[in-house]
Structure 1
């Protein structure tokens, strides 16, 4: 079949286009023999998501342990770790500042008439305006407490990735500090696990077009295109801010810091970006992101195995940007003008909470709730976001994955790696 001979990203693009058409045609109530198409789409989509999530824990544990153990001495680990954390902090901060600038410029929550009546908000702004204070500290502290799990098995079972990554970092580091005969056995075991997980990843990704079709078709069938109308300005603001980060900030970083062609990079990771968009899960996309960055971009396994799993947990550019815009939008809807000091708190909290947000669909809503509480806004404002959250979740997840993959390339170049994103022989320059 000609479709199966196409490259994966073309298969996914075709699946996306068909999903939009089919979703609009069948709608939420369309059925065959009493079974709704939406239910069928949901079943197939969940199968695909479950298959991807099945890979996450063993892949992350094995890849980080092997990656850290391959670094060898602590000087290499410290240097690579410092570069990775520094890059992720920089890109997240830049994303938040872009979102803050856009939402202040467009002011999507400021509408004619009573915004509270239009959006169906019940809380009285005067009652909570005086409550602006530094709340939610316990929630922020809890993010850092989760970095050291009390039970590693429980952390794995509940996909508490910060704790799992911290344990894997320690395990890989001290693997190089034991006797060679023991270290070799451990290294071979986890290297074998990593190779097996990559093989399983290849198998699962053969079904990616089908999974993408089901997930997107269900979303379109349930919300339709009309879901964007009531919150068009908010939707446009988020899309514009994400677009600026995706098309300006990250390409500039790739060009200036990495010295590589941004266009060539986007081509290399396009299957991962499309999968991230359709699944709205950076964690579920991680196996494919690692494969694209290593095989298509030419980054070494040592760098890929360290930078990308860490990025899937702590580097959420799109999520941090979205959190900032969402909180500012809700404040505007209530007629509350946030001063510079309060906006600074929003920026800081967006940066911190984005670190602890799980890479799964709609997880950022939890982080937004923390920020709303921190600045004194009522949680009912979250209801404003539900109509368009799914589509925006898909977009911001693609931005998250782009930031991770760009980081792997930039850090690999800074480590002196060769052959990264080089043009194929005879190919025209990008």
Structure 2
């Protein structure tokens, strides 16, 4: 059984035990909450303590890798340009779609009230700041103090400036710093791996606590969450088809036939990397030269999470709606930018790690509590299927678009070398 399956099973078991206690043994609820509550909270705190160093190191190394790839040739530069446009589009769509879906099909009122009561200790960050104060707070006088106080937006802005400045220094110290932050990133991933290993215990404790307080209300809320967030991912994924048709100049039926085997692999493996061989074969069948697909698809698998910004932002907006947090236009715009950057930095990470690492900064930017993520990560197995399917179909669409644009552009010396090697 995979770790994600164990976590999901722990959630189901915890909800069942908690609901059974609430319905048939209400006298045991207080003792159960007193025992299980601290265990779940301790596990969640352990997960949160890794977010700051992980996010900063991922952003620095991710942007450095992106800049290095962009310098490797015209095909790579075109691919990165299209990938960044897709990720920005993904986040903007979530900012529009998630409030729309929540207005059309809101969370059941009883479930929202019950869950807020069950997570009463996870209060939002506070009232919405005026626009002027919000903009000033983005540039703190002390970035260390801002990070200590959960100022993710300030930390991300500093990491962005730091990473771009890093690209301008001499190669030797640049390589030294990249190695340093890569070591921090890898160390944090090991620590998070340990924390995820005991996740079934933490998730079970959280689920028991919530279900014991709310009964079956938690089940309906989680199902509503899965449908809402997955729907955002599906809508964003569907845009891969017009991108392929218009940008890649391919017939719809041909693209559907080429994408079908890739989607089957993605659904069964829930891994873009495992789907790479199928994507290479399908892109070749759709007429993409090997010299192009051999460059673009690995970059897309490494960088592009087409559904990442959309579904990550959707989770944070959902939690804001859940807790009744007012989201201003300025904070929503900032959260949209954070969603793009954290998705760019969290590529190729296991689902449970990227879920917390990518969504926690967005949640803090919106002023919503992070604690509910410890419960929502347990059901990520289901939305992750839609995430992966959307990612791979968009990888194919981007590859077709870059190939079509390259056919109209003069061939650079780097592209010519790749073409010679492929031939």
How far does the alpha carbon of each residue in 1:279-334 deviate from its partner, in whole angstroms, 9 at most, with x for none? 3222333343233323x323222211221121112211111111110010011111
Q: How far off its partner does 1:152 sit?
A: 6.5
Q: How far off its partner does 1:96 sit?
A: 1.8
Q: Show the 5 A alignment for 1:126-145.
A: 128-129=126-127, 134=138, 135-136=151-152, 137-139=154-156, 142=159, 145=163
- Aligned CA distance change for structure 1 residues 156 and 293 (closer, same or farther; 3 Å): farther
Q: Which residue in the other structure is 2:115 paired with?
A: 118
Task: Find the aligned partners of 1:282 and 1:365 in 2 and give their Cα distance.
Answer: 19
- Aligned CA distance change for structure 1 residues 78 and 138 (closer, same or farther; 3 Å): same
Q: Which residue in the other structure is 1:349 paired with?
A: 338
1:317 aligned counterpart, secondary structure: coil
- Aligned CA distance change for structure 1 residues 250 and 159 (closer, same or farther; 3 Å): farther
2:381 aligned counterpart, secondary structure: helix
1:330 paired with 2:319, answer yes
Preserved contact between residue 257 and residue 410 of structure 1 (Cα < 8 Å): yes
1:288 paired with 2:286, answer no
Task: Find the aligned partners of 1:227 and 1:281 in 2 and give their Cα distance.
Answer: 29
Give the number of equivalent residue pairs.
283
Q: Which runs of 5+ in 2 are unaligned?
A: 1-7, 14-64, 139-150, 168-173, 188-216, 409-423
Task: Find the aligned partners of 2:397 and 2:218 in 1 and give their Cα distance.
Answer: 32
How far does the alpha carbon of each residue in 1:337-370 deviate from its partner, in whole angstroms, 9 at most, with x for none? 1011111011111111111113232323310012
Preserved contact between residue 95 and residue 313 of structure 2 (Cα < 8 Å): yes
Preserved contact between residue 96 and residue 317 of structure 1 (Cα < 8 Å): no
1:414 aligned counterpart, secondary structure: helix
Q: How far off its partner does 1:401 sit?
A: 1.3
**1:383 aligned residue (374, 387, 391):** 374
1:273 paired with 2:230, answer no
Q: How far off its partner does 1:85 sit?
A: 2.1
Q: Which runs of 5+ in 1 are unaligned?
A: 1-22, 29-63, 161-225, 418-430
How far does the alpha carbon of each residue in 1:114-171 deviate from its partner, in whole angstroms, 9 at most, with x for none? 72532532236466336876421335655774996647799599889xxxxxxxxxxx
- Aligned CA distance change for structure 1 residues 287 and 140 (closer, same or farther; 3 Å): farther
Preserved contact between residue 101 and residue 228 of structure 2 (Cα < 8 Å): yes
TM-score (norm 2): 0.57
Q: How far off its partner does 1:104 sit?
A: 0.8
Q: Show the 5 A alignment for 1:73-112.
A: 78-107=73-102, 110-112=107-109
Backbone CA RMSD of aligned residues: 3.8
How far does the alpha carbon of each residue in 1:33-82 deviate from its partner, in whole angstroms, 9 at most, with x for none? xxxxxxxxxxxxxxxxxxxxxxxxxxxxxxx9xxx9xx9xx8xx653234
Preserved contact between residue 78 and residue 402 of structure 2 (Cα < 8 Å): yes
Preserved contact between residue 316 and residue 362 of structure 2 (Cα < 8 Å): yes
**1:309 aligned residue (298, 306, 309):** 298
TM-score (norm 1): 0.57
